[in-house]
Structure 1
Amino acid sequence: MSRAPQLEDAATKVFAALADPTRRTVLEALAHREMATATVLALGLTITRQAVLKHLTVLADAGLVESVRMGREVRFRVRPEPLRHTASWLSARADSWDDRLSALKTEAEQRAGRA
């Protein structure tokens, strides 16, 4: 299986997870800590612990966070790899469009010169 469809699939999951502004806020709050529980994250946000936990679940499904059980607590931490892979995917798309636009510009300039 080619790596490109896998990157595209991962990017889709990341985009879907980050489409919600509250999830981006939860991810950002978690990124400022090595690890945190949903309870600790909720203390700094305007949403309940249960809502934080629901958002963390979506972020985990996208691979953006992982959970670790420590005794009775479940702590979460950010996994930066999916963001890096998504940035790489976006960069490849941008490069492709830059190449296409450059070719279009060259073609337009050549046609203008022939006119």
Structure 2
Amino acid sequence: MSHDPAAAAALAPLFGALGDPTRLAIVARLGGGADLSITALARGTDMTRQAVTKHLRVLEDAAIIGRRKAGREVRYSLRPDRLTEAQRFLDAVGAEWDAALVRLADHVEGG
């Protein structure tokens, strides 16, 4: 899987979006399971609603979060399926590294 350039290209925006500490914190807050508004996401931070909106746009473009209209406000939620894709990719990379380390150990011990 990790050698598949198309899979890596599809996941690059996700990893890029998660590479920012503010966006990672937003994902963590949404990981609690509740749909949250921009106001709720900005509460308790030093960020403006406009700054939160900018970060939400990046997360939404990477398909990490979804949004729905609830009356006059928009509520955001985590898309765990997208994070599962990233986890599978990282698991595959980790398995390849583990296999490479075993081959190296066998070579060093046997050679």
TM-score, structure 2 as length reference: 0.87
User: Structure 2: 5+ residue runs without aligned partners?
Assistant: none
- Shift in Å, 1:30: 2.2
What are the equivalent positions in structure 2 for 1:24-103 lying under 5 Å apart?
Answer: 24-103=24-103
On the 8 A contact 1:69/1:75 being kept in 2, the answer is yes
| Runs ≥4 residues deviating over 6 A | none
Give the letter aligned to residue 89 of structure 1. Answer: F
**Bigger Rg, structure 1 or 2:** 1
Tell me the amino acid that sits aligned with residue 91 of structure 2: S
Question: Closer, same or farther in 2 for the Cα pair 1:33/1:47, shift >3 Å?
Answer: farther
Give the match for residue 13 of structure 1: 13
Aligned residues: percent identity?
Answer: 38
Aligned AA (1:51):
A
Aligned residues: 108
Which consecutive residues of structure 1, in runs of 5 or more, have no partner in the other structure?
A: none
Q: Aligned to 2:76, what secondary structure does the other structure show?
A: strand
Deviations along 1:28-57, one digit per CA (max 9) or x if unpaired, are 122224211111211132211111111011
1:22 correspondence with 2:17: no
Over aligned residue pairs, what C-alpha RMSD do you find?
1.5
- How far apart, CA to CA, are the structure 2 residues paired with 1:105 and 1:33? 43
Structure 2 counterpart of 1:102, one-letter code? V
- Give the TM-score of the pair, scaled to structure 1: 0.85
